[in-house]
Amino acid sequence: MTNTVSAPAKLAPGTLRVTPVGGLGEIGRNMTVFEFDGKLLIVDCGVLFPEEHQPGVDLILPDFEAIRGRLDDIVGVVLTHGHEDHIGAVPYLLKRKGDIPLIGSQLTLALVEAKLKEHRIKPYTLTVKEGQREQVGPFDLEFVAVNHSIPDALAVGIRTPAGLVLATGDFKMDQLPLDGRLTDLRAFARLGEEGVDMFLVDSTNADVPGFTPLERAIGPVLDQVIGKAPRRVIVASFSSHIHRVQQVIDAAAAHGRRVAFLGRSMVRNMTIAEQLGYLTVPDGVLIDYKKAKDLPDDRIVYMSTGSQGEPMAVLSRMANLDHAIEPGEGDTVILASSLIPGNENAVYRVIDGLTKLGANVVHKANAKVHVSGHAAAGELLYCYNILKPKNVLPVHGEYRHLMANAKLAQDSGIPAENTIIAENGTVIDLKDGVATVAGQLDLGFVYVDGSSVGEITDADLKDRRILGEEGFISVIVVVDAASGRIITGPEIHARGFAEDDAVFDSVKPKIAQALTEAAQSGVRDQHALQQVVRRTIGRWVNQSLRRRPMIVPMVIEA
């Protein structure tokens, strides 16, 4: 376990430095920086979605402070797959330096390029596939097929003179995948024979015993639910879950229903998937959602975004009757996705809202309509036994997931001192099979809020929470510049209080008295007088109303 909080020493020759920048202690923001011989390789560059205690924030990025001033040293960004928590921050990195090469599979790069097009960035790309090896700067990269809840996912082996590192990206070991593309355990075994010096492994389901169920187990359930639905069917899923969309399309077609995509990202991603051959759509099944309303209710399936309860996504807007499609009695809504930690309350609010409207809501808790895309404990044990890595760095997970993964590694015979529980910013040096913690960078959150990136601070978010939860009070007082005597005021305005403004009448004399005493003491500084007002009303509000609102005092000199 790391507790070092210090800048790392200069990297010794022949040593590989590994620095997770995001994805540790959280589900999202996945990004790891590898340094060798003065060059940097980045694996993944994703976003984290905000929680309720981060009001107004659109996205959270990795802290690029770790690579600030070294953008020219980056030889490439390897993207393991096309999920937002692995590719979503790429536009913000390329805005700093647009010619950093992106390396990934065909589908992954197609999804990234579509995203970058919205940011008016045309990237340099290198398309790779499983079994391929590429020399990128001092890094010898080998790509290995893994299956996940999106097609074309890749693990990456990184060879340098310091040793061999294998990073899984997100993966599971579905033995009967819908696209027939297995996690390549034969390649894992070959790498294990060569000797894996460090294994960076997906931890998301490390605390789930056994094995992740098969994707194909979902198809019959969706078929049954859609077949029995009396009216409209609305299915919410991740906009990148091509396998799930394929299953919905197949079930809809089998029951004579047509499918309409809802949500910009759903339309964009499925168009790309169909063009590249990852999604098979029978003729006449797809229909534009604006024309779908002309169909009988029992002849349509809507495929939408919003399975995580995002306030502005399609499903939430439907639940709030803020969308052209208003769910009602007899409609069936299927949430075909898992719950990302932190989103539970938002998702249950949407479920309650839809249920109140009369819809039958089918979700993971009451039907088998989703399986995870991440390896459970049994699958991870197989990996440890096949690879027999010298060192393990659990990644991609909250702290409990990282700990559970480290325990599995130790159960399989890897010494505890060789399983590293790291944080974002932990610097690990690897040489001759030995991994050591070299330091700890001080990394934070970078918030995207509208068009501003990195300008919103934790203090700003605290102010927003106070405004949302405790209310707002402004106090205006005009004083004589020479004597400090009050000319008018104090005038008090409050927002977010149940009480009438008259409740503040009793504190106005206290404010006036405090200002008079300050003036008699010779205080004339405007800021100091404002602090007197803030302390006086703050103390009174806390004692009288049991509130801690945001207080904005204005002392105007005349």
DSSP for 153-198 reads -EEEEEEETTEEEEE--S-B--SS-TTS----HHHHHHHHHH--SE
Q: Mind listing the domains of the chain with CATH numbers?
A: 16-210+372-453 (3.60.15.10), 216-362 (3.40.50.10710), 471-557 (3.10.20.580)
What was the pLDDT predicted at 2? 43
Measuring CA to CA, which residue among 223, 521, 100 is closest to residue 112?
Answer: 100
Choose the most confident range, by mean pLDDT, from 102-111, 301-310, 336-345.
Answer: 102-111
Residues 204 and 172 sit within 8 Å (Cβ to Cβ): no
Give residue-wise pLDDT tens across range 457-508.
666 666 666 665 677 788 888 877 777 677 777 788 777 765 666 777 777 8
The percent of residues in the chain predicted with pLDDT above 90, rounded, is 57
Q: What is the pLDDT of residue 1?
A: 43
Residue 221 near residue 368, CB atoms below 8 Å: yes
- Res. 3: pLDDT tops 90: no
Alpha-carbon distance 211 to 378, whole Å? Answer: 5
With a CB cutoff of 8 Å and minimum separation 6, the contacts of 65 are 441, 443, 444
Maximum Cα–Cα distance for the chain, whole Å? Answer: 86
pLDDT in tens, 430-439: 999 999 999 9
Q: Report the chain's terminal Cα–Cα distance, integer Å.
A: 61
Bridging pattern class, strands 426-431 and 16-22: antiparallel
Tokens of 235: 């299915």
Check residue 38 and report its DSSP letter. T
- Spatial CB neighbours of 442, under 8 Å, sequence gap ≥ 6: 5, 425
Look-up: residue for tokens 């700093």? Answer: 96
Q: Is the pLDDT of residue 424 over 90?
A: yes
pLDDT tops 60 at residue 339: yes
Q: Determine phi and psi for 327, rounding to 5 degrees.
A: -60, 150
Report which of 325, 328, 331, 349 is spatially closest to residue 339, judged by C-alpha positions. Answer: 349
Report DSSP state, residue 356.
H
pLDDT at 513: 76
Query: Of 50, 233, 163, whose CA–CA distance to 436 is shortest?
Result: 163
- Tens of pLDDT, residues 198-256: 999 999 999 999 999 999 999 999 999 999 999 999 999 888 889 999 999 999 999 99
CB within 8 A of 413, min separation 6: which ones? 384, 388
102 pairs with which residues across the strands?
77, 125
SS3 300: strand
CA 56, distance to chain mean position in Å, is 15
Q: Share the mean pLDDT of the chain.
A: 88
Q: CA nearest 547: which of 503, 508, 485?
A: 503
Handedness of CA 414, 203, 54, 71 (dihedral sign): positive
Separation between Cα atoms, residue 234 and residue 336, nearest integer Å: 10
Measured CA to CA, the distance from residue 213 to residue 370 in angstroms comes to 9
Q: Which helix (H) or strand (E) holds 392?
A: strand 392-395
Identify the pLDDT of residue 451.
Answer: 58
42-67 tens-digit pLDDT: 999 999 876 665 656 667 889 998 89
Looking at 283-297, 300-314, 440-454, which range is the least confident one? 440-454
Buried b (16+ CB within 10 A) or exposed e, 317-343: bbbeeebebebeeebbbbbbbbbbebb
